[in-house]
Structures are given as structure tokens and as C-alpha cells.
Amino acid sequence: MTTPTKKEIVELDKSVEESLIALAKENDIAHDPIMDGVVDVDKYLDAPLRILWILKEPWEKLEDGVPGGDWRLTDFLQDPLVKPHKTHEIMAYVSYAILAGFPNEQSIPYVDQSRDVASILANVAVINVSKFPGETSSRANLISDAYSLFREVLLRQLSTLGPDVVIGGSTLSLFFPDLGLQATDFKQVGTCSSCVNGGRLYIDAYHPNQRSISRAAYVDDIVAQVKNAFPEGKRQIP
């Protein structure tokens, strides 16, 4: 696994946008793409661990018949999370714990009480399987279809961004065949499972906005997997 350069990440962003515009035209998609990827390139490259979240689809409230898209999730996440969506709030707690020495969930300040926590997502990358506006809840068959449509773009993003830790929010199994992974490669610990492949830690977790387990369990179980793979909280130097 190689370390990406700033130039490679910037060029990736441009090429992904071009690919998505072409796919929209080829598939009669009325919307414009919603761009994702690295939130702040310099902070991502300087982080002790490069974290990539893979979610399902971006949500946008649309009027009937009005095309959406044409905005960047990465721009939104660069600003401190003052009143965040629950998805981004939980992602902030997990990301902060990974990058700040593995504190447990109970000791992490709330996003509205700590600028360090509220702005932590500037240090990570976030991509969605679907690249166009979705609904408030994601249907599995539609996300699977989106993976087939955007497969080349998604694999290009994963390869170029060179993350040390990949956290799938109920999405990672879509990538298994292309990554040469199987469910049996993953070890279940608590509410999530993980495996190390090619020096990279893959974590198969619930979506951050899930409602079946506590926030503490969600955060602490993911962080425990990272701590086990990277006990010093940073990538190994070759």
C-alpha cells in the first residue's frame, strides 16, 4: 500500500467528477453528482492514520421533479459540526477517538462542546456508494445497483486514497469480491467485525445512524478494532 500524494488526490477528485457527469448522461440521470472524498487533503495526509468511511448514499431534500446534486459533501464536513446530522456526529466521535489516542466514548466531549471533536472530520475521507441524491432510508437493492453502476469510480477512490483504516457503514460486503475478501476473513468483536489485508484494516460496521445498539458500543467497538491493529495509533513506517 502506497502513500498518496496531494497531486494524486486532487487529480482523483477531478477525474471522478468527470466520470460521474458522463455516467449521468449515459444513464439518463437528471441529477448532478454529489462529490465526496477527502475532506481536507493536507490534514488527511498528515493524520497518524488515514481513515476512509464508506457510506450508502447522500441525502438531499428535493421538490418533486426538481433535479438535485451539484454540491460537495467534503465542503460541508470541513466546517465544525455545530448542529450535525446524527450520522456525522457519530462519525466524529469514532474518528476523534482513533486519532486522539483511543479514549473511550464516555470521555469524548460532545461536538457542541469541543471544537476539536466538531472539526475532526476534516482529517478523514468519506465516500458514498451512490453518487447522486438518495432517500432518508436506503434500500439494499438500490445500493447494490449503485455499486454496480459506480464500481469503477469507487475502486479508483479506494485505491488512490490509500487509507489505513476503512470503515464500512453497512456497505463493506459490496466490495468483498473486488477486494478478494470473504465474510469468513472477518473476526467479530462486539458489534462489528474486521480483518487486515495488505496492511489495511477493514471494519465491517453498522451504519453510523443505526438505532439497534448504543452509541458507546458503536464507537468503542470500532475503536477497539483499530487499537488492536495499530496499538500505537499510527501506521507502521516501512
Strand partners, 219: none
pLDDT band per the 50, 70, 90 thresholds, residue 40: very high
Amino acid of residue 76:
F
**Residue range(s) defining the domain that contains residue 23:** 6-229
Q: What pLDDT score was predicted for residue 58?
A: 85
- Tens digits of per-residue pLDDT, 6-24? 999 999 999 999 999 999 8
What does the pLDDT read at residue 137? Answer: 46
Give residue 32's pLDDT.
86
In whole angstroms, give the CA distance from residue 173 to residue 162: 19
pTM metric for this prediction? 0.93
Q: Looking at the domain assignment, is residue 1 inside a domain?
A: no
Instruction: Say what the alpha-carbon torsion angle 57, 127, 53, 156 is, to the nearest 10 degrees.
Output: 130
Sign of CA dihedral 197, 200, 203, 207: negative
Report the CATH number at residue 27.
3.40.470.10
Neighbours of 203 (CB within 10 A): 25
> What confidence tier does 79 reach under pLDDT thresholds 50, 70, 90?
confident
Q: Name the strand (E) or helix (H) holding 35.
A: strand 34-35
pLDDT (tens digit per residue) in 199-218: 999 999 999 999 899 999 99
Is 82 inside a domain boundary? yes
pLDDT, position 225 = 97
Cα–Cα distance for residue pair 118/140, rounded to 1 Å: 30
- Identify whether 235 is part of a domain: no
Distance CA 14, CA 20 (A): 10
- The number of domains in the chain is 1
Task: Tell me, yes or no, whether 237 lies in a domain.
Answer: no
pLDDT tens across 166-206, in order?
Answer: 999 999 999 999 999 999 999 999 999 999 999 999 999 99
Q: Mind listing the pLDDT tens digit for each residue in 81-98? A: 766 789 999 999 999 999
